[in-house]
Structure 1
């Protein structure tokens, strides 16, 4: 299952308002100034487990100014592969963590458990038993059995916490005097197996408060203890490579010299095949090779670049960090359930190109039914081709963290809007020139984020390689500010305006107050020069006007002219088009191709696609 959102209540700086985090199906970026509360959000999410309730320590992290208690609600939905596997009418699921004893379930997963006839029949058979005749008369045991039975009674509305341990106890506690002991054990194992299958649909959280770096060498005596710590970075390195504890023992302790050499060669091959090959696929700053040496009773790691071998500790912190997080993340993919990777400032030690490659790693992880949520201050850690996955985090005067559904929310502070070109730039704390800069020769300014989403979706749909750098303004009235900066930097750009009163008002500001030469850079959505010259908006047109009625009907939340549906429709259109979930009508394709031709994005033979 994939997470769609979190409701985080009263955890540290997060209060009971503006505490809803919408999560992208693949990668979500959290941006905001230092001390805005980004790390608190990751911590609140990362310390969750769907197999245990909130701990007392978790609940003690209460927002000092809040009247309510700490709680969190997680909203999920099935992946398409899971929908194909299970026949369920309710796809959405919510899990509520409200105390240190229970996790409530509603929706799809609850229905899936309820509709499992084999599971429910086994539970009913167990619940019908006389507890004392099966498990004896010892008072403490009877109380535990009763508690376990109460959990089974509400199995469709509550997670059965630590089900394997509890059901294992039930099996071991059955008295030998009970005649149908083996039959009961079978029923308990059915319950255990069915719950394990259903609960495996829930994702696991990958969260590190710190990023330990892989060391250059490890003593064998220390490695034996490391195998007891499944979170140790060297243990994750071995798991990622597929190296077993038995192989490490044989590599150092096998009394036959030839056997030791054989297993050592096997370990080296596994590292090259399972780590080195995949690492070089994404880290193309330089090609590296891992060289492993077994010197005395020490496991040593060397990095070979251009035939020059260096001890891992001699390489840059950036490369060591990248290798460490790469193997840590790679090792988690050996789990059966999907993962939500929570990464706090993951690119802080990396140079610009390496940061961009980290985004490629995130995309790769998301392709395997995982999700990534990360925080950043770096403009290089924002995917300029798709900024719809960015969430802005801001701390208000009262000290509470405020979570916005996008980086282009009009409710961000006025200082954010006035001091920078857009809320996105202010939230990053960076300068827009890092993203578009004077060297950029092809920029397109749109009125807002919805225009960006439609344009980006159609550029993706048509497979346009020479697409412009789209800069969404925080509202049409802010376009002139962006234009002023681009003029100063010597950037080439065009401006796309809606054919409505607000669009013409900004047109007048741009042409009559800023620079009359801008007239040649402005295009209205309708692309009709004769209509535009009349400067009379008799039939207003926006970017949504380019979407055919049939395509609009394919959206669960079509644009109906209201502000509430505007962004929802744009986001759904964008996601469905990019993920190839809908086939667009020729009318929509023709309208956008006409617009793109007018913007000189790409030439088309329009007559071949017209209805």
Structure 2
């Protein structure tokens, strides 16, 4: 059973999120936005739904004096529906759920404080109650059976006979919600036995490495020493092998776990240190926040993974994964989360404002929800397309992490109303066309916007259209890249109509790559930096870059900026054909600059 959507009312900065649908393409939902937008409030509200109120609810989570309410809708799969039939023996109910496999559950009530129970939403109650007649009027004729037959009927009688029983049964089949607080679930340097229960990371450590510190302290000294050595070995191996990325250069990390018994058992201490083989082990608090997050989150994932059956029945809620980690390590966090979702079946919802944790390739874009906050409407959760339709400045700022993830370094430059945006497939197209603009003294308002991948192009265009930005697109004619990009845009934005698409998109004919726009002599002289021999076999220019496509393009741009490039008429003619089209579509006069 999958979590399909949620709606949150009256929780912290949230007035009413509206219904937020999770991605249908995978098991990950990314709540992206700036700090203070209310991303954490969404995660905490979902934790409230799954696990009830926390000790600090009144102080931290209540919105004024209002009453919170969270609704979650779940999608039943075929096995879930079959399980309902086994419990109810109701063929009509089974047929109904097969056609209408979504049920809603609610915790809280906007009219009053009511946090203890989770119950069917009004919509679900109304739809399913009709399968459970209240007065048993259908039972009288069926109960007049012989005593011997009654025993056989009893063996096959339904376990669920009313709407309350169905509510309880289906809810028990839903996924459990697990909340990981990146800021508090960290391994301490020292903890006493009596305080272990207050530290989720220590409980995770015990579970992963199959130890119980409260029992170990009662053993003799040699047994304690053996356990310390085992934990040192296994915890160190785990930390060094579970992640590909190391946070620091150099040797391996070594966990040092010291068990220190005291006269009063509950006062016995457990010390967690990290040793880099330099003779100076550090308590966990002395390590960087990034390292502590890294190690604690690793433990959390392993603790969840101990029971493989349980993982696929979880909704894992994570607030700001990757805090304090550098760029490559953040990408590893994303990889591990996706592995947990794709291979082990967990549904994962996490918040972030880090571009490295936001995927924009292909179906990844469908998992992104933009979180924003205004004084009038509070925190809202929307798809990128919904959010991009706004024109206010805050909308532009909020999308900055997403825009950066798409390979664009400055959103404000894109949204400059004076700028004429030309979408291109990759960074090398950006470099070459920017260089040609410089060499041929073309209109300064033209900006070549790299989408950084074919699948990312529709996403970028949807943002530009949503903000009413003036744009055109120029692609090469390679079937796997430029032509594919053209076909994607034609299908999604131009009704699959070539004439309509050609008003906005140019395919540069005869170019399998932007490099093919050069004459051979120019390409060898100014890009490859070697003389062209006419006897050389006729490969396309785009096939001659030998894995240095982006580097060669960037170096060519530098030459152009220094005035070191003088192109032949053959190259200039082809390049001008591209700019002539751009000028025509943007209605630029040739004497405009």
User: What is the TM-score with the length of structure 2 in the denominator?
Assistant: 0.55
The aligned residue for residue 235 of structure 1 is: 203
The aligned residue for residue 225 of structure 2 is: 261
Preserved contact between residue 53 and residue 100 of structure 1 (Cα < 8 Å): yes
Alignment deviations for residues 175-229 of structure 1 (CA, whole Å, 9 cap, x no partner): xxxxxxxxxxxxxxxxxxxx6x9726431232427334323x42xxx43113343
Q: Where in structure 1 are there 5+ consecutive unaligned residues?
A: 116-150, 160-194, 444-465, 512-516, 524-611
Preserved contact between residue 33 and residue 429 of structure 1 (Cα < 8 Å): no
Matched positions, count: 404
Question: How far apart are the structure 2 equivalents of 1:110 and 1:328?
Answer: 40
Question: How far apart are the structure 2 equivalents of 1:72 and 1:259?
Answer: 50
Preserved contact between residue 407 and residue 427 of structure 1 (Cα < 8 Å): no
Question: How far apart are the structure 2 equivalents of 1:114 and 1:361?
Answer: 45
Question: How far apart are the structure 2 equivalents of 1:104 and 1:316?
Answer: 44
The aligned residue for residue 74 of structure 1 is: 72
Pairwise mapping of residues 6-45 of structure 1 onto structure 2 (< 5 A)? 6-16=6-16, 18-24=17-23, 25-45=26-46
Within the candidate set 362, 366, 384, 2:360 is matched to: 384
Distance 1:157 1:307, change over 3 A: same
The aligned residue for residue 498 of structure 1 is: 490
Question: How far apart are the structure 1 equivalents of 2:231 and 2:401?
Answer: 48
Alignment deviations for residues 377-434 of structure 1 (CA, whole Å, 9 cap, x no partner): 1111112332110001222451422221x212266411369958xx854766878435
The aligned residue for residue 338 of structure 2 is: 363
Preserved contact between residue 360 and residue 406 of structure 2 (Cα < 8 Å): no
Question: How far apart are the structure 2 equivalents of 1:314 and 1:56?
Answer: 28
Preserved contact between residue 208 and residue 302 of structure 2 (Cα < 8 Å): yes
Within the candidate set 233, 242, 251, 1:279 is matched to: 242
The aligned residue for residue 105 of structure 1 is: 120
Alignment pair present for 1:320 and 2:312: no
Once the 2 structures are TM-superposed, how far is the Cα of residue 270 of structure 1 from its aligned partner?
Answer: 4.2
Question: How far apart are the structure 1 equivalents of 2:116 and 2:400?
Answer: 43
Bigger shift: residues 369-378 or 97-106: 97-106
The aligned residue for residue 470 of structure 1 is: 456
Question: How far apart are the structure 2 equivalents of 1:200 and 1:232?
Answer: 25
The aligned residue for residue 95 of structure 1 is: 105
Once the 2 structures are TM-superposed, how far is the Cα of residue 437 of structure 1 from its aligned partner?
Answer: 12
The aligned residue for residue 294 of structure 1 is: 258
Bigger shift: residues 306-315 or 202-211: 306-315
Question: How far apart are the structure 2 equivalents of 1:437 and 1:295?
Answer: 60
User: What is the TM-score with the length of structure 1 in the denominator?
Assistant: 0.53
Distance 1:292 1:477, change over 3 A: closer
Preserved contact between residue 110 and residue 156 of structure 1 (Cα < 8 Å): no
Q: Where in structure 2 are there 5+ consecutive unaligned residues?
A: 87-93, 132-159, 262-268, 411-422, 431-451, 514-593
Alignment deviations for residues 343-385 of structure 1 (CA, whole Å, 9 cap, x no partner): 2222231100011001112112223232211111111111233
Alignment pair present for 1:206 and 2:194: no
Once the 2 structures are TM-superposed, how far is the Cα of residue 59 of structure 1 from its aligned partner?
Answer: 12
The aligned residue for residue 381 of structure 2 is: 403
Once the 2 structures are TM-superposed, how far is the Cα of residue 234 of structure 1 from its aligned partner?
Answer: 2.3
Q: Secondary structure at the match of 2:192?
A: helix
Question: How far apart are the structure 1 equivalents of 2:20 and 2:208?
Answer: 31
Once the 2 structures are TM-superposed, how far is the Cα of residue 56 of structure 1 from its aligned partner?
Answer: 11
The aligned residue for residue 413 of structure 1 is: 390
The aligned residue for residue 589 of structure 1 is: none
RMSD (Å) for aligned C-alpha atoms? 5.0
Pairwise mapping of residues 211-610 of structure 1 onto structure 2 (< 5 A)? 211-215=184-188, 217-218=189-190, 222-229=191-198, 231-246=199-214, 248-249=216-217, 253-255=218-220, 257-272=221-236, 275-276=238-239, 279-281=242-244, 288-294=252-258, 299-303=270-274, 310-311=281-282, 312-334=284-306, 336=310, 338-366=313-341, 367-385=343-361, 386-396=364-374, 398-404=376-382, 406-409=383-386, 412-415=389-392, 424-425=399-400, 432-433=407-408, 440-441=427-428, 468=454, 470-471=456-457, 472=459, 473-474=461-462, 477=465, 495-496=485-486, 497-498=489-490, 500=494, 504=499, 507-508=502-503
Preserved contact between residue 187 and residue 201 of structure 2 (Cα < 8 Å): yes
Question: How far apart are the structure 1 equivalents of 2:231 and 2:126?
Answer: 45
